[in-house]
Structure 1
């Protein structure tokens, strides 16, 4: 039986790793999700056969929890709108961190109950020193990820907009961190239930306080970081439970999340430290519209349609505004009409377009856009100087040329799409406001840029009608 269990865990680990590899490409991502899902189901079923569970009497509760949680996740996954996908990812990721924290809490409270029967004993004596350390560190990381992810969800969902809770927020965060570390050290030899409760409460509070100052523009990096922390916490608690599947799955998720966080931060020319403690995403210090040379010039949908109909190449740059307008299907219909007129059409995706990594890729795939028409920033940027029209729909900060040209801009150094270098730029936008970072966009004031105001889906529909008449 033990050999069968270990072999099943090994197979599950292989499926996790292969599935993650498949997820690295939009073409194979669906297959990767299925493989990883099969691995998770296998690991879960085999765990019920683990000899260490002998004597456990709450199988019914475990099965009910799996059915309720799995059923809810299945339903939400099928019905969630693409514009709400980042919120769902943040929420579900938080649940993973919370689960790891709950496992640590059970182990710590169980150890304390045993230690109270042994004079002078503590958590480290009952669990052994290495297991106690791993349990406490996993408790800290998982609980922090839980409360931090919930704040990220609330911010993305528009339910929570504050950037500070108390004066001198960052100093308060530092003080909380020092206190939590002190309590964590004390837990090592404690037999006090109250001390464990205080530790978890303060870590929950720290997660809230750390995430609250993170600006909207930085939220994709924060979500990715919490994803990495959740994986790490699961791996650590797997060590505590001596569960190979949890160790492997947590390690894979943690390492992948860490790499993604680094790539996201690099795409924004930011450090993770600066994301958490820099307060970026607030409008303080941003360049005002009055300081930018030039003026915004409006274009009508009929003139924009004519310009694109006679273009040699059109590059479409989607952003979160397109997701909000649910305009992806209309945009693809527009692209198909342009191709019927012998116009070459490409889609340009910035790594942090939208509210999470891959958001725009999934959105376009949902609309039926072929993968070979979707290009990453490094692939498409050399094409912009030879592009007749760059059509920017709902994107803002990721096409701001000040990120390259203005050292005083908060965005300076952030890699951006070079839409500004196209022969003509048409920007579909609801109004003249700033992007998520609160920074005014110099692209909108360039001589080769014209603004097409209105709801993304409605404007795309108008462009389609005008093209059909040509």
Structure 2
């Protein structure tokens, strides 16, 4: 009891000491702790086992940063009510989305979140410029407000366009594939410059509205021409933009956490954008200004290829594929967007477990731009509890294909097209691909012979070692499970272990 009484007294005296400190000091201390926690949280995201805890740690850091800022600002009762209501509404909406958004909608959800980050930074800078002006903060504050307004508006409108295109709500207009779009975007950029220069003389008037409106239209003008095949690049770039806007907003409100977090997100987004461009053998300039690869392709991922594009196609049933799997020693699965559409990741995991119980070595070949966003396939497979060690990146898995007995391609197309290596006239030429054509036997699971975003036929489909298994990925995988169980696959080890 004496020990508890001593601890209570120590806690009481500590709280009393904190009350006597100036709000600025307390806020800065909390901000510093939140920065350290955020750094630890981001470090923990590098490993699957610690990612969930690290995500919670980062969320705690952001919550502390908000608390520290409120302690410094000391808002009145009405402001506290608005803050509490906004936090509750946003938290509830986030919880509902986390529970209900399917994996197929994750790319557009990420795009929407990027847009929300840009809008948050925009609103912060808008409020400061509108109601506090630019006189007190000097040129750093003025530049931060301009950057936050400009980049935040571009991020918000561009992200909404990306989300709409991923959802199939918006097509690429024909005029955006001509040089007219460059003139429109240059004009909008000049209008943004005029608004930014005039903002210092009238921070709460027409220059503010002009800058926000022109920046929003510029975000639409830059994103609208970009096609579906380039969407992984666009999403990672918009993610970088949201980080830049957040860092600028951090300078506006004096938040160390926003500055650090925004800088890290901005830098990471740029690095990821470069990785995506390298994986597609395209420069960032060509993605943004050089025309849209796959712009005419529908949102579902189908293109212009059909059965008439091929002269030699061999199809087989799940029963024949199951017999090949039964005799295989090494199997590699190649997930694509079709796997996500079919929501077949759990069936794939069950099939993998069955093969592993039969003594088969199983791995998953991950292409950097497979799916609709960076890391889409990793997230999809992680949802089905696929061990992270079995997800092998393209550069590591390609040398292993010649020693692979069976490759099963699930809804992927352009990322396995060997024309990228052999045909200089192909729009994919030079793009690094998964070299599944080197494997002994390849089964391609697709609903049809439709082309990918590049809109060209896939030479893989006509190779002698390739057979097509037509159908929904989930139905095909469940059929393989049924056939393998009928063949007794997976029961040998179970009997031995007993």
Does residue 356 of structure 2 align to residue 346 of structure 1? no
Q: Aligned equivalents of 1:404 and 1:283: distance in 2? A: 23
Alpha-carbon distance between aligned partners in 2 of 1:249 and 1:191, rounded to the nearest angstrom: 27
What secondary structure, in the 3-state scheme, does the structure 2 residue paired with 1:342 have? coil
Deviation at 1:284, TM superposition (A): 7.7
Displacement after TM superposition at 1:162 (Å): 2.3
SS state at 2:397 partner: helix
Paired residues of 1:283 and 1:438 also in contact (CA < 8 A): no
| Cα deviation code 1:309-368 (max 9, x no counterpart) | 111211000111001001111111112222233222111111111111222112112212
Question: Within the alignment, does 1:244 sit opposite 2:256 as a pair?
Answer: yes
Alignment pair present for 1:468 and 2:490: no
Classify the secondary structure of the residue corresponding to 2:314: coil
Instruction: Specify every segment of 5 or more residues in structure 2 that has no aligned partner in the other structure, as ranges.
Output: 1-20, 298-302, 488-498
> For 1:202-217, what aligned pairs fall within 5 Å after superposition?
202-217=214-229
1:141 aligned onto 2:151: yes
- State the match for 1:84 in structure 2: 105
Distance (whole Å) between structure 1 residues aligned to residue 132 and residue 70 of structure 2? 23
- Which of 90, 97, 102 aligns to 2:118? It is 97
> Which residue does 2:410 correspond to in 1?
393
Residue in 2 that maps onto 1:233? 245
- 2:179 aligned with 1:157: no
Q: Cα gap change, 1:441/1:373 in structure 2, threshold over 3 Å: closer, same or farther?
A: same
Matched, 1:446 2:463: yes
- Secondary structure of the residue aligned to 2:106 is helix
In structure 2, relative to structure 1, the CA distance for the partners of 1:164 and 1:42 (3 Å cut) is farther
CA contact 1:86–1:156 (8 Å) conserved in 2: yes
Q: Scaled by the length of structure 1, what TM-score is found?
A: 0.92
Spell out, residue by residue over 1:236-287, the C-alpha distance to the aligned partner (whole angstroms, 9 max, x if none). Answer: 1111111212112211221222221121222212222221122233368999
CA contact (8 A) 2:314 2:466 kept: yes
2:493 aligned partner: none
- Conserved? CA contact 1:294–1:446, under 8 Å: no
- 2:407–2:442: 8 Å Cα contact kept in structure 1? yes
Q: Do residues 27 (structure 1) and 49 (structure 2) align?
A: yes
Q: Give the counterpart of 2:193 among 181, 188, 191.
A: 181
SS in 1 for 2:325: helix
Contact 2:131 2:204 in 1 (8 A): no
Deviation string, structure 1 residues 124-164 (Cα, Å, up to 9, x no partner): x4542221122111110011000101111111111112245
Partner Cα separation in structure 2 for residue 405 and residue 28 of structure 1: 42
Confirm or deny: 8 A CA contact 2:149 2:211 kept in the other structure.
no
Could you tell me how far 1:437 is from its partner in structure 2?
3.2
Contact persistence 2:305–2:451 (CA under 8 A): no
| TM-score normalised by the chain length of structure 2 | 0.87
- Of residues 3-12 and 59-68 in structure 1, the stretch that sits farther from structure 2 once superposed is 3-12
Structure 2 equivalent of residue 326 of structure 1? 343
Q: State the Cα distance separating 1:291 from its structure 2 match.
A: 10
Q: How far apart, in 2, do the equivalents of 1:154 and 1:71 lie?
A: 23
Instruction: Quote the residue 1:117 is aligned against.
Output: none
Q: Could you say what secondary structure the match of 1:48 adopts?
A: helix
Shift of 1:453: 0.3
1:434 counterpart (448, 451, 460)? 451
Distance of aligned partners of 1:184 and 1:440 in 2 relative to their CA distance in 1, 3 Å threshold: farther
1:280 matched to 2:292? yes
Instruction: Give the deviation of 1:65 after TM superposition.
Output: 0.4
Q: Map 1:288-303 onto structure 2 (within 5 A).
A: 295-303=312-320
State the secondary structure of the residue aligned to 1:28.
helix
Question: Does the 8 Å CA contact 1:283/1:439 hold for their aligned counterparts?
Answer: no
Partner of 1:363: 380
Q: Which moved more, 1:285-294 or 1:275-284?
A: 285-294
Contact 2:325 2:406 in 1 (8 A): yes
* 2:95 equivalent in structure 1: 74
Distance (whole Å) between structure 2 residues aligned to residue 18 and residue 398 of structure 1? 35
Residues 1:360 and 1:284: Cα distance change in structure 2 (over 3 Å): closer
**Displacement of 1:57:** 4.5
The alignment partner of 1:363 has SS state of: helix
Measured after TM superposition, the shift of residue 222 of structure 1 is: 0.6
Given the superposition, is the C-alpha separation of residues 284 and 65 from structure 1 closer, same or farther in structure 2, using an over 3 Å criterion?
closer
For residues 158 and 332 of structure 1, the distance between their equivalents in structure 2, rounded to whole angstroms, comes to 29
Deviation at 1:374, TM superposition (A): 1.6
- Report the 3-state secondary structure (helix = DSSP H, G, I; strand = E; otherwise coil) of the residue aligned with 1:37: helix
Per the alignment, do residues 302 and 288 of structure 1 end up closer, same or farther by CA in structure 2, a change over 3 Å counting?
closer
Work out the CA distance in 1 between the residues paired with 2:43 and 2:432: 26
Q: Distance in 1 between matches of 2:47 and 2:70?
A: 34
* Deviation string, structure 1 residues 106-138 (Cα, Å, up to 9, x no partner): 1222245xxxxxxxxxx4x45422211221111
Higher Cα Rg, which structure: 2
Contact 2:333 2:408 in 1 (8 A): yes
* 2:64 alignment partner in structure 1: 42
Per-residue deviation at 1:55? 5.8
